[in-house]
Amino acid sequence: DSTLEVQPIAIDALMRSAGIDSPFRSRPNLFQLKQLSAKLAYADGILSAEKITLWMDDSRLSGSVRLEDPIHLAVDVDQIDFERYAAALEGGGGYDPDAPLIFPGKLLRSLPLDGRIRFGKISARGANLVGVSLRMESTPADAPAPR
């Protein structure tokens, strides 16, 4: 077992340091990692992160993740401004503030995830959704196809 602690850093800079091209640019008030810590364990080829504490911008996340197939997670997010991140991920030219926001359900279904994410509050377009839970169930890649 070991402990992971990351000092404050812009998320795109952290991604670049790990050799990952960032699809966005961090700004002084957007995509800024203020705190990240977790208890890490590796056993039987599976990496687990427990007691995760992440603080990015105005959002705080806590929970656990187990990296196997599928990825198991139990995560709580206190609040997130969905529109703020949708605009940043679309880049400067593609975001239309008058177009409907599309929930990324297709993307989530394509990911090998099993578990839940609970949101205290999701804000978008002046509306607030409170107490939202997402439950994800995935089939492992080596499972037989359904009949």
Convert the pLDDT of each residue in 119-145 to its tens digit.
999 998 888 999 999 998 886 566 665
Domain assignment present for 85: yes
Listed in sequence order, the residues at least 6 apart from 89 whose beta carbon sits closer than 8 Å to its beta carbon are: 23, 24
Domain assignment present for 9: yes
Domain assignment present for 144: no
Tell me the residue type at 143. A
Domain assignment present for 77: yes
Q: Which of residues 49 and 124 earns the better pLDDT score?
A: 49
- In eight-state DSSP terms, residue 76 is E
Strand ranges inside the chain, DSSP E: 2-6, 9-10, 32-43, 46-56, 59-67, 71-81, 113-124, 127-136
The proportion of the chain whose per-residue pLDDT surpasses 90, expressed as a percent, equals 56
Domain assignment present for 101: yes
**Quick check: 28 and 39 in contact, CB under 8 A?**
no
pTM for the model: 0.80
Domain assignment present for 145: no
Domain, as residue range, for 41: 2-136
Q: How many domains does the chain have?
A: 1
Give burial (CB, 10 Å; 0-12/13-18/19+) of 85. Answer: middle
**Quick check: 134 and 108 in contact, CB under 8 A?**
yes
Domain assignment present for 12: yes
Which residues face 52 on adjacent strands?
A: 63
Domain assignment present for 66: yes
